[in-house]
A = this chain, B = another copy of it.
Amino acid sequence: MNSFGDHWVYTSFGESHSAAIGGVLDGVPAGMRIDFAMIRDALNRRAGRLSTAQLTNSVAHQQRSSLTAQLTNSAAVSPRAVREADEVEWLSGVIGANGEAAKDCSELITLGTPIAFLIRNRDARPEDYEALKHSFRQGHADFTYQAKYGVRDYRGGGRASARETAARVVAGNIAAQHLAQQGIHIQARLIRVGDETRPEHFDELIARYRAEGDSIGGIIACEVTGLPIGLGEPIFDKLQAHLAFAILSINACKGFDYGSGFEGVSQPGSVANQHSGGLLGGITDGTPLTFRCVFKPTPTTPKSLAQLQKEQLNAQMENAQMANGKIVNRSDTCIAVRAVPVVEAMTALVLADFVM
Which A residues have a C-beta under 8 Å from some C-beta of B?
Answer: 1-4, 9, 11-15, 17-22, 24, 26-27, 30-31, 89-93, 95, 98-103, 111-116, 118, 123-124, 126, 129, 139-141, 143-145, 147-150, 152, 155-156, 158-160, 164, 192, 194-195, 209, 213-219, 229-230, 232-238, 240-249, 251, 254-262, 264-270, 274, 276-277, 279-286, 294, 296-299, 301, 303-304
State the 5 A-B residue pairs at the shortest beta-carbon distance, nearest first.
A141-B281, A255-B257, A269-B297, A215-B269, A18-B92
Q: B235–A245 contact, CB under 8 A?
A: no
Contacts of A192 in B (CB 8 A): 265
Q: B301–A235 contact, CB under 8 A?
A: no
Which one, B11, B98, B194, B230, contacts A3 given CB within 8 A?
B11
Q: B101–A268 contact, CB under 8 A?
A: no
A15-B194 CB under 8 A given contacts A260-B254, A270-B301: no
A265-B156 CB under 8 A given contacts A24-B11, A251-B281: no
Chain B: CB-nearest residue to A295: B265
* Contacts A245-B245, A267-B297 known; 12 new A-B pairs at CB < 8 A: A1-B114, A3-B9, A17-B95, A18-B113, A111-B152, A139-B274, A140-B281, A145-B234, A235-B249, A254-B264, A255-B255, A264-B296
Q: B280–A139 contact, CB under 8 A?
A: yes
Q: A159–B255 contact, CB under 8 A?
A: no
Contacts of A101 in B (CB 8 A): 19, 123-124
Question: Cα distance A242–B151 when bound, in Å?
Answer: 27
Q: A241–B245 contact, CB under 8 A?
A: yes
Which one, B118, B214, B238, B280, contacts A268 given CB within 8 A?
B214
Q: A155–B95 contact, CB under 8 A?
A: yes
Contacts of A95 in B (CB 8 A): 17-18, 155
A338: shortest Cβ distance to chain B, in Å?
Answer: 15
Contacts of A297 in B (CB 8 A): 264, 267-269, 274
Q: A22–B91 contact, CB under 8 A?
A: yes
Question: Cα distance A24–B4 when bound, in Å?
Answer: 14
A292: shortest Cβ distance to chain B, in Å?
Answer: 8
Contacts of A13 in B (CB 8 A): 24, 91-93, 113-116
23 contacts between A and B (CB under 8 A): A1-B9, A1-B235, A12-B235, A13-B116, A18-B102, A19-B89, A22-B116, A112-B156, A144-B284, A145-B234, A145-B281, A159-B234, A194-B266, A194-B268, A217-B265, A218-B265, A245-B245, A260-B296, A265-B294, A269-B296, A269-B298, A270-B301, A274-B299
